[in-house]
């Protein structure tokens, strides 16, 4: 569950974490904010403003939820909370973060190698040379490919490589087009 709160005003962007560590919605929202290059603060579940994410996280429901908000918001629940203080660019940024979050959720899958032996990366134009592109060599050729085991999703591989989801997604799409990997649906289990 994504809770969107106080997005048109307030001091800074805030990602309020899910109650349980490792929630998919939390990872997706963080990736979306990072991919947009937005500066934000991360706070724990019981910090920041509390609203619907608390309802969904109640023990009898236990639905993971995060909140995107601008915090602190001094006018919150006061008579000064009026339409005149709304910053339209904040709302546009929030819409874009939501769009990117949905894009990540829709594009996430579990890649699996078709063959059991290492593919010939240079033959397929998929190899990054360490001297020309050391960052891509390490993150993509090493961390992503050596952790691609048919169990980890694109999102998890991006986290492991400490890189942007879409960088990993587009790289793996080249493998998919060449028939080196295949897609399996990503049904990530929430960690509780």
Instruction: Name all domains of the chain by residue range, CATH numbers in brackets.
Output: 2-106 (3.40.630.10), 108-185 (1.10.10)
The C-alpha R_g of the chain, in whole angstroms, comes to 19
Q: Is 24 helix (H, G, I), strand (E, B) or coil?
A: helix
Q: How confident is the model at residue 188 (pLDDT cuts 50, 70, 90)?
A: low
Contact 12, 71 (CB under 8 A): yes
Rounded Cα gap, residues 90 and 165, in angstroms = 23
Q: Does position 130 have pLDDT exceeding 90, yes or no?
A: no
Rounded Cα gap, residues 172 and 144, in angstroms = 9
Q: What are phi and psi of 186, to 5 degrees?
A: -95, 110
Q: What is the DSSP letter of 76?
A: T
What is the per-residue pLDDT across 45-95, written as a single tens digit (0 to 9) for each? Answer: 999 888 999 999 999 999 999 999 998 988 888 899 899 999 999 999 999
**% of the chain beyond a pLDDT of 90:** 74
Q: Which residues pair with 184 in a beta bridge?
A: 110
Q: What is this structure's pTM?
A: 0.87
Rounded Cα gap, residues 150 and 180, in angstroms = 13
**Nearest one of 5, 10, 4 to 86, comparing CA atoms:** 10
């Amino acid at each position: 569950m994504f809770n969107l709160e106080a997005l048109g005003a307030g001091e800074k962007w805030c990602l309020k974490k899910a109650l349980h560590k490792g929630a998919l919605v939390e990872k997706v929202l963080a990736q979306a904010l990072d991919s947009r290059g937005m500066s934000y603060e991360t706070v724990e579940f019981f910090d920041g403003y509390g609203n619907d994410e608390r309802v969904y996280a109640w023990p009898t429901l236990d639905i993971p939820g995060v909140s995107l908000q601008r915090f602190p918001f001094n006018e919150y629940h006061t008579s000064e909370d009026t339409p005149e203080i709304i910053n339209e660019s904040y709302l546009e940024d929030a819409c874009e973060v939501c769009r990117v979050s949905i894009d990540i959720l829709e594009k996430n899958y579990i890649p699996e190698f078709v063959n059991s032996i290492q593919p010939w990366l240079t033959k397929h134009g998929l190899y990054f040379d360490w001297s020309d592109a050391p960052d891509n060599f390490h993150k993509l050729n090493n961390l992503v490919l050596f952790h691609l085991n048919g169990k980890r999703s694109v999102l998890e591989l991006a986290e492991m490589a400490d890189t942007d989801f879409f960088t990993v997604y587009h790289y793996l799409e080249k493998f998919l087009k060449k028939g080196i990997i295949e897609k399996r649906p990503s049904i990530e289990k929430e960690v509780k």
